[in-house]
């Protein structure tokens, strides 16, 4: 992309790819934050190119938990992790962003008329600020493997469904085949995992993350 200004607005992934493809091709460090795998499809190469695109690079990606409940997306995450990408999961709201070599930042905007806008930033000061936001999100997120293991251990999806149904703890515990104290302990641990201070907040965050 020929530099005309420190901030460039583009419309749609076709234009984004046209302007930044060579940056992705030569980048040695990519940091990505997204709600799912669809926001940055421009950054996901076709299958024959995937492994080569990750090997020899520093790749860090943060996603919301909802990606774990789509088999196709979860499979892609496992493939990327096996190829060397570091992946973390966060329940917190994130700014959908890609950083290339700490020199270029691409920030996803809203959809207008079905087309999403993107802002490409090359100003060192602005990129540094965006990088700092990513680093804060990264340090507050949980490693993919650890998150999956903890979620499975708690039976989190089943607990969330019981909480969403509004049934009493005794009824929920019987439905899950666990004791009342065990159920309440797991609810408390799930709330901690989601960073929630109440059951209502846990439900809200689970919905925002696509878990319900």
Specify the pLDDT at position 110. Answer: 84
How do the pLDDT tens digits run along the chain, 212 residues long?
444 468 899 998 888 888 888 888 889 999 999 887 777 765 554 443 444 455 578 999 998 877 776 666 777 788 888 888 899 988 788 889 999 999 999 999 888 888 889 999 999 999 999 999 999 999 999 898 888 777 776 677 788 888 878 888 999 889 888 899 998 988 888 887 776 788 887 777 677 666 66
Q: Tell me, what's the pLDDT at 128?
A: 95
pLDDT of residue 69: 63
Tokens for 185? 């302990």
Specify the pLDDT at position 49. Answer: 41
Please give the radius of gyration of the chain, using alpha carbons only, rounded to the nearest integer.
Answer: 19
pLDDT of residue 47: 40
Residue-level pLDDT at 50: 45
Structural tokens at position 134: 């990513």
Which residues, in sequence order, are CB contacts of 180 under 8 Å at separation 6+? 169, 170, 173
Residue 55's nearest CA partner among 22, 87, 82, 21 is 82
Predicted confidence at residue 155, as pLDDT, reads 73
**CA–CA distance, 7 with 22 (Å, rounded to integer):** 18
Domains and CATH numbers, the chain: 7-143 (3.30.870.10), 155-208 (1.10.10.10)
Confidence at residue 137, expressed as pLDDT on a 0 to 100 scale: 94
pLDDT at 48: 38
Q: Which of 73, 98, 93, 94 is nearest to 10 (CA)?
A: 98
Enter the pTM of the model: 0.69
């Amino acid at each position: 992309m020929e530099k005309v200004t420190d901030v460039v607005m583009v419309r749609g992934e076709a234009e984004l790819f046209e302007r930044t493809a060579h940056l992705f091709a030569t980048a040695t460090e990519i940091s990505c934050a997204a709600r799912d795998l669809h926001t940055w499809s421009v950054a996901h190469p076709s299958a024959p190119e995937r492994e080569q695109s990750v090997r020899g690079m520093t790749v860090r990606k943060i996603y919301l938990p909802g990606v774990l409940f789509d088999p196709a997306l979860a499979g892609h995450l496992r493939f990327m992790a096996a190829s060397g990408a570091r992946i973390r999961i966060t329940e917190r709201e994130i700014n959908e962003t890609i950083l290339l070599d700490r020199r270029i930042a691409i920030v996803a905007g809203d959809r207008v008329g079905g087309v999403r806008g993107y802002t490409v930033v090359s100003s060192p000061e602005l990129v540094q600020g965006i990088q700092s936001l990513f680093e804060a999100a990264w340090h507050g997120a949980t490693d993919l493997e650890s998150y999956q293991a903890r979620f499975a251990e708690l039976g989190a999806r089943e607990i969330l469904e019981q909480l969403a149904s509004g049934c009493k703890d005794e009824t929920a515990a019987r439905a899950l085949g666990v004791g009342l104290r065990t159920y309440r302990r797991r609810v408390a641990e799930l709330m901690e995992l989601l960073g929630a201070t109440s059951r209502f907040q846990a439900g809200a965050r689970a919905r925002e993350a696509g878990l319900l």
